[in-house]
Chains A and B, each alone.
Chain A
Amino acid sequence: MSDTNSTENYSAAGEVGQVRLKRTVFQRAWIELKKAPITAWFGLIVIAIYIFMVVFAPFVAPYGEAQVFPDSYAPWSDEHYLGTDQIGRDLYSRLIYGGRNTVGIAFVTTVLAFVIGGALGLIAAIDRKWLDQGISRMVDVLMAIPSLIFALVILAILDKTTFNLIIVIAVLDSTRVFRLTRAVALNVVVMDYVEAARLRGEGLGWVMRKEILPNIMPPLIAEFGLRFCFVFLTIAALSFLGFGIQPPLADWGSMVRENASLIQFAQFDLKSGLTPLIPAAAIALLTIAVNFIVDWFLHKTSGLKDEH
């Protein structure tokens, strides 16, 4: 062949690759937000308001968390926006502080559940031998028992402290996180780059943190949102039953229980009748808001394309 020069203008660097425009994280986030559906915006705004209320509770709330006023079961008024409860505490203030306790504890619990479940899930996915079997079967056992009942039993035995509450719920919920993490990590563990890292002699910590974790973040973040809702509902349910957050700390679950009897006065005074429903509505609103965001996020990361 005489003509071998025709590839001379070939250069490896000149090959066409899809080069991403250089944008900052904030620019990218803003582009995504602009395209976000109205439901996602609703969720974001609601959560922003909740966060503001929770963080600045002492400044936003007109009275203290456990401040007792002379008249119990006071009706709605300018002094007490939502009236007072059975021993005369301002319900509006307790609603705000209650958010702080319920949401705060739920958040801490969820983070803990993810640390436990996520770490074990990654280890199980990488190991794939007896360790995987051992952890997985233990998780199966834990999941076989209805978690609310299990939590009730354990909390009945242990002291009803906030610390115990967090630990018990975190451990029970970490089983779900474990399953998810293990399942999504299994798809990544088989990738050549994980094998390459093992061939390099990298330790377990590096493989978990640097090779696998960044690639399974989207489903985990979505699960975090959902898990947060469940934890938060579990805490509210336990509090409603008297096993959760203990008085005098305010929380939405026990606020519903304490004022539940007011509902029968709805025929005489509609506003007072609604009072026990307001903490319940706060729970519902937050759950919905979180779910809207999770939906949007999942839709974005799952690669589903909008139909034109």
Chain B
Amino acid sequence: MSTKKGKKGDVLLDMKDIVIDGYSDERWHEIVKGVDLKLHRGEVMGLIGESGAGKSTLGLAAMGFARPGCRLTSGSIKFDGMELMGMPEKERRKLWGSRIAYVAQSAAASFNPAHKLIDQTVEATVGHNIRPSADARTDAVDLYGALQLPNPDTIGERYPHQVSGGQLQRMMTAMAMSPRPDLIIFDEPTTALDVTTQVEVLIAMRDIVDQFDTAAIYITHDLSVVAQMADFIKVLRYGEEVEEAETRKMLKSPEMPYTKSLWSVRSLEKPEDKSEDVVISIKNVDAAYGGTVKVLHDVNIDVPRGRTVAVVGESGSGKSTTARVITGLLPPISGEVLFNGEPLPKALKERSKDQLRKIQMIYQMADTAMNPRHTVEEIIGRPLQFYHGVTGKQRTDRVLELLKMIELDESFLDRLPNEMSGGQKQRICIARALAADPEVIICDEVTSALDQIVQEGILKLLLRLQEELGITYLFITHDIATVKAISDEIVVMFQGRVVEQGLKSEILNPPHPDYTQLLLSSVPEMDPDWLTNLQNERDAQT
């Protein structure tokens, strides 16, 4: 077994006045500006903030590590009495993977696809000579059991592509846990998972951290998640500490205006509105990829004009495929899509310019939805020119008008996509869709890659545009809070089938079909006891 460690309550990590610089555009910029962090043994700290707040950078600094292109400029990092600043890398390497472990956001990208999971689980433990291989393997199987992985005895023999995303994320936790580290850094470990999977992973991670009295830093931008995991929370913004407090206290009475704004974001809610005037009607659609794998089964959805229909479900439920059928990217095998009562040609190529113009799409990743080599003026101007034949000065004027509509100014005209923040990019995508003068906009997870405050801004913008222009939204999302904020009607999808469709009030209030119940109950709430209650409830049922 590993060496006897200090007792619970001792200071494990003491970071003082940490300054970290990042290099970009030929200069060094301060990313983290003098933050202090103190963590005792057995404690879990939540580190929250928007992207770019410096939370991951600070988390890595707790290991004495700086990403390439970053440098630890000044401050002191004391880990169990050892000063990590200025410690030679060779010494620090001995700590990494043995006494400090790191769980990354994307498990899929962090495992080596060519090695068996169990070999990777015990690699650090055996490599650091913490215990012999056979022991470590037996222990790994125990860890798999503790993390509630199916078939703990044999699952380690599989390769990373043979398990699901949620299982892989738990594998990574097992890997981090294997050498029994004193400190684990979780960097957004559940952000890429579905809500239903996220719950399982959260429970598993919380229990195991509890069981071994490991200290942890939990980095996330999701408040309700951190509320379940952390003993106390530190809020970061622009590389500076905003506030730190015990979890319950912070949830109840946040002090700083910025923290309060994070808390209030989720209160946005639009009153629902019924309408009988159907603009898009999907009738008995079956669709398949490659002619064999059927992904949509007899899908029927009605989208009323000037309203927002939210399509919810976990990944793989057929939400995005439905969007592809509507846009014509994936011609359905059978069934049809009616637009204003007229059937739309199935394939994209057969549709007229006007039909294409009336249905626009906004993507999840604004980064990849805009050509990185085109300026904002070209991006927004192209649909104007293409559909409406507007050119020259007129085009520039109209682009400026659209920029104003999305609350940006003329300084953005000649910017490239990588010169804007995530929220700004998504706004440009919205403007591009508006430029076509559409009747329907399909929004595919448009806010899920954004921070809370930015999300709220985008949602408000979409609502305002709907009010002003009467646009219909088909809003694809897996986030129930977003659904509450924006929708009139909700469609719940599961495994390529529509579970139910109805007004927001009908769907969100009981009675629910089983799946809707599972989905709704898996959405984390701002209550530190929520996960415990849920776990008890679900245990009681089985």
Contact = CB atoms under 8 A, between A and B. Distances in A.
Given A1-B264, A214-B373, A7 B409 contact: no
A7 B52 contact: no
Interface stretch (B177-185, B220-228, B417-425): B417-425
Contacts of B371: 193, 210-211, 214-215
Contacts of A19: 415, 419
B530 interface: no
A20 B412 CA distance: 12
B453 interface: yes
A195 B382 contact: no
Interface stretch (B12-20, B57-65, B149-157, B255-263): B255-263
B264 A192 contact: no
A20 B416 contact: yes
B264 A13 contact: no
A129 interface: no
A20 B387 CA distance: 32
A142 B356 CA distance: 41
Contacts of A16: 52, 238, 421
Given A1-B264, A214-B371, A12 B25 contact: no
A6 B456 CA distance: 13
- How many residues of B sit at the interface, in one of the four size bands? 35 or more
A200 B436 contact: yes
Closest 5 CB pairs of A and B: A6-B261, A214-B373, A15-B421, A192-B369, A17-B421
B456 A1 contact: no
B419 A195 contact: no
Interface in A171-214: 191-193, 195-196, 198-202, 210-211, 214
Interface of A: 1, 3-4, 6-7, 10-13, 15-21, 31, 191-193, 195-196, 198-202, 210-211, 214-215, 305
Contact of B361 (A4, A199, A210): A199
A20 B372 CA distance: 14
B261 A7 contact: yes
Given A199-B329, A200-B386, A17 B363 contact: no
Contact of B264 (A7, A15, A18, A210): A7
B435 to A, nearest CB: 10
A21, A196, A199, most chain B CB atoms within 10 A? A196
Contacts of A201: 348, 351, 353, 356-357, 386
Contact of A6 (B257, B356, B386, B415): B257
A200 to B, nearest CB: 6
Interface string B203-236: 0000000000000000000000000000000000
Interface of B: 24-26, 52, 68-69, 238, 257-258, 260-261, 263-265, 267, 327-329, 348, 351, 353, 356-357, 360-361, 363, 365, 368-374, 382-383, 386-387, 406-409, 411-412, 415-416, 418-421, 423-424, 427, 432, 436, 453-454, 456-457, 461
A191 B364 CA distance: 12
Contacts of A214: 371, 373
B407 A18 contact: no
A21 B386 contact: no
Contact of B407 (A12, A192, A199, A211): A12
12 contacts: A1-B267, A6-B260, A6-B264, A13-B411, A17-B420, A17-B424, A20-B416, A20-B419, A196-B432, A200-B383, A202-B386, A214-B371
A18 B368 contact: no
A196 B369 contact: yes
Contacts of A196: 361, 363, 369, 432
A67 B265 CA distance: 86
A4 B453 CA distance: 12
A12 B457 contact: yes
Given A13-B412, A192-B363, A214-B373, 4 more contacts: A1-B267, A6-B261, A12-B408, A215-B373
Contact of A15 (B258, B418, B423, B432): B423
A10 B453 CA distance: 8
B373 A17 contact: no
B368 A21 contact: no
A305 B68 contact: yes
A277 B456 CA distance: 73
Nearest to B355: A201
Contacts of B408: 12-13
**Among A17, A20, A191, A215, residue most surrounded by chain B Cβ atoms (within 10 Å):** A17
A3 B52 contact: no
B372 A215 contact: yes
Contacts of B383: 200
Contacts of A193: 368-371
A15 B424 contact: yes
A305 B25 contact: no
A199 B420 contact: no
A1 B415 CA distance: 38
